[in-house]
Structure formats: C-alpha cells, structure tokens
Amino acid sequence: MIVLGVDPGLTRCGVGVIEAGASRRLSFVHVDVVRSDPEQSQDLRLLTIYQGLTAALDRFSPDVVSIERVFAQSNHNTVLGTAQAAGLAMLGAAQRGIPVALHTPTEAKMAVTGNGQADKIQVQRMVARILGLNQLPKPADAADALAQAICHALRPAGAIQGGEREEHLTQAQRQWAEASAKYGKHRGVQRDM
C-alpha cells in the first residue's frame, strides 16, 4: 500500500510518500516540500500548492492520502491558509478517486514517537529511524508529512484487516494502539470519521 502524507500549509506544504509492505513494514519512497511565494497573491499561491500536490498524486498514485486535520490556532491567517491547502489535497485526491484520511497532529506524533506532545526534533528523529533514513527529514514540514503517512499505515483500525489477527501486529502498532486508546480516552483526541 502506498500512502501519501500531507502536512498542509500555504507557504510550505509537506508531501511524504511511504510504502506499507508485508507485515506492515514501512519503506521510504519520497519526501518534498511544495513552496509558494508569500509575495504572490493568494490565488497564485494556492495554484502553486495545488500543482505541486497533483504532481505528487499523479507521480506516485497512492492508495490513500493522509492529511493533517486542521485545528484552530491563535493565528487565524495561518489556519485559513492551512485549511485551504488541506482542501486542495482533498480535492486532488477526490478527483483521482483516492480515499482520504484525516489525522490530528497529536495522533501522528503518537504514532511515530509514542508521545502525543512530542516536539519537532523528536518527530524528525523517529521518522528517520522508522524509515531507516540516514538523515533527518528537513524541514519539519517534510517530517510531519512522513509522520502523517506513518500514522495512517500504523493505525490500529487499518492494521486488523483482511483476516489479520491482533497477534500479527508489530510491536510499534500495539504500542500505538495502547497509547492511542489511553491518550484518547483521557485527553479527548479526535478520531477519524
């Protein structure tokens, strides 16, 4: 299964692609950051992001697109641009008949580090470790996009499909499921729809 993760943003939009193979072994495929010029008008910036996202969708033909779920922040301009970029990723996927999953930043952090409050460097280090990379994925948007893809590939609901039984889950999948259940129960983590 090819998973394309998106860390949406108007200035920098992270795109990470992984492959979840047999026994849910994760392999690195690609990572990039689509950038738009803050000096350009909003419509042209959105066009740049859209073209970058659709180029990645066409190049890698993912089985699913995992997008960071947008949540309210103090900076409303940042939220607006992030939501617009997320919408472009959803649109591009829908146009190609590719399913979309939304995961919160907390879920992605928990999936890769076991800590929903992990900082950027922890996420970068664990993404590199999980995917066997020689260097940390940079900038943070790149690591966050890969974390989105990893989160979707390791999600407990997806790990038990097609007759698989729980004892076939990897240790990371079991830890993520346990931490997710505990953290979600006590902290109100949003789940996929």
Q: Which residues are catalytic?
A: 7, 68, 141
141 in a labelled binding site: yes
**Ramachandran region, residue 179 (left: φ > 0; alpha: ψ -120 to 50; beta: rest):** alpha
State whether residue 97 is helix, strand or coil: coil
Go through the chain and tell me how many residues it has.
193
7 in a labelled binding site: yes
Burial code of 138-150, b = ≥16 C-beta within 10 A, e = fewer?
Answer: eebbbbbbbbbbb
Residue 119: which H helix or E strand, with range? none
Give the Cα separation of 130 and 89 in Å (integer).
Answer: 25
Q: Enumerate the known binding-site residues for Mg(2+).
A: 7, 68, 141
